[in-house]
Structure 1
Amino acid sequence: MARSGRRLTLAGSAAVLALLLCMRPAAARDALGVWEDWGAFRDSAVPRCYAIAMPAPSSRPRDGVPYMTIGTWPRRNLRGQVHWRLSRRIAPGAKVTASVGGETFELMASDAVAWAQDRRMDAAVIARLRSAGTLTISGKARDGRTFRDTYRLGGAASAMDAATVGCVGL
């Protein structure tokens, strides 16, 4: 179901849906749409809405299934909160950065998750997501090797907008 002129990719749709089936029971979510590599979902039980994507496939080692979400929690008055599940567990004290649209952000991170330092950074990352082609998360894994998770951003703006609109009234 492509919208706003975006081309739906079968591989992107399958990856997003497979990821969601692994995360929680499917009955808890309503699909709002899939655009290229990005999907948007509403979970009325929480309540929350989110856009989600997996990074491009990689032949490098991974400790888990990485993904990125941009979430909205209407009852908490939170909107546009970025979160990453990293492909590798990070080394103690290692920096994790997000590079998008010519700008690099140093993220907060713990074990295998990362997030923006504050709401201002959330907003800056999201603004860059809307016009950039890719976003790369990088850091040092516990084994000392550098890891990179690269996300294609085609469809990201549509998925973020659908997630925001999907939470109206929750």
Structure 2
Amino acid sequence: MIVAAALLLAGERVALGVWQRWAALRDSTPTRCFAIAQPLDDAGVTDRRGAFARIAVRRGPERAPAVFFRLSAPAAPGDSITLTIGERRFALSARDDRAFAADATTQRAIVGAIRGARWMTVTVANPGGGQRVDRYPLAGAPTAIDAAQLGCR
């Protein structure tokens, strides 16, 4: 118990729970909570190239979620990044190996789509026709998002 309290005071990250391939985490300094997952590779195992999807809980009057993706490789100028969730498609903005939704309305729509789908993919397409895809299973994502929201009330 004392060790746990010391870790919290030191600004450690605490797991709020894990559901399927999604986790909810809480950072104590500064206080922030988020749901996070890594993509799967073509064989269905965790892709270890460093990519992840994160849905952070925001405080304050807006309270829109912050949807963020670390890509498996940097996007180049001219590449287009598309997030596909079920039948819905969202254009993402990118800087190097980071991709994100342009505004709060889109971020809310993404979280709503996540709640009703089984998979999401982030596709980076270059003008020459090549593409890279990061695939995320969504089983457990709604529960992890809810846990993050409750963890930072």
Q: Please, what TM-score do these two structures have when normalized by structure 2? A: 0.83
Q: Which amino acid aligns with 2:66?
A: Q
Three-state SS of the structure 1 residue aligned to 2:65 is strand
| Structure 2 residue 124 is matched with structure 1 residue 106 | no
- Report what 1:35 is aligned to: 19
Q: Distance in 2 between matches of 1:70 and 1:146?
A: 24
**Partner residue of 2:115 out of 123, 130, 134:** 130
Alpha carbons 1:54, 1:68 under 8 Å: kept: yes
Q: How far is 1:76 from its partner?
A: 8.2
Q: Distance in 2 between matches of 1:111 and 1:138?
A: 14
Between Structure 1 and Structure 2, the one with more helix by share is: 1
Deviations 1:92-111 (A, max 9, x none): 12110100020110001111
| Structure 2 residue 43 is matched with structure 1 residue 67 | no
> Could you list the runs of 5+ residues in structure 2 that have no partner in the other structure?
1-9
Q: What percentage of residue pairs aligned between the two structures are identical?
A: 36
**Partner residue of 2:70 out of 68, 85, 93:** 85
Distance 1:132 1:114, change over 3 A: same
Three-state SS of the structure 2 residue aligned to 1:123 is helix
> Could you list the runs of 5+ residues in structure 1 that have no partner in the other structure?
1-25
- Report what 1:46 is aligned to: 30
**Partner residue of 2:40 out of 52, 56, 64:** 56
Distance 1:141 1:48, change over 3 A: farther
